[in-house]
Amino acid sequence: MKYIYSVMYAVAMRFTGLLLWTQENRLSEKFYRKLAFDVVLSSDDMSVVKLGDLEVQLANIREGEEFARDMMSGDKGRGTYVYLRVADVDKEYKRQTGLGLEPYSSPRNWLWVIGNL
């Protein structure tokens, strides 16, 4: 019964976006255009492509200690940010960590988040 509850609860959660570190964001834009994504932002260091409700942020690898571990990591999955839209982020965080999920950080606001996440 617990498994069924978890699956039903997860339906209220929407996967809305990714942040991917790239060598050249504008080259990556071309790839996503071929997959029918729309380019909604394009700058020298970042692009945002969107397909329906899914948003992918393509950020160029850059200098900076805060993200060095994520950007240059050979560990699979590290350096990828997954955005999920939920009604109550604190409640969902407690639920997920209660199930054994070990996120890198607790939920927090980022100054550069694009769009209404």
**pLDDT digits over 67-79, tens only?**
666 666 666 556 6
Alpha helices in 11-117 (DSSP H): 25-34, 65-72, 89-98
pLDDT at 6 over 80: no
The string of pLDDT tens digits covering residues 12-65 is: 667 778 888 888 999 999 988 988 899 999 999 899 999 888 899 998 887 666
**Cα angle 80-84-85, degrees, rounded to a multiple of 5:** 155
Report field, pTM of the whole predicted structure over 0.75: no
Of residues 43, 50, 46, the one with CA closest to residue 17: 50
**Domain 13-94 maps to which CATH number in 1.10.240.10, 3.90.1150.10, 3.40.50.300, 3.30.720.120?**
3.30.720.120
CA–CA dist 66, 20 (Å, integer): 15
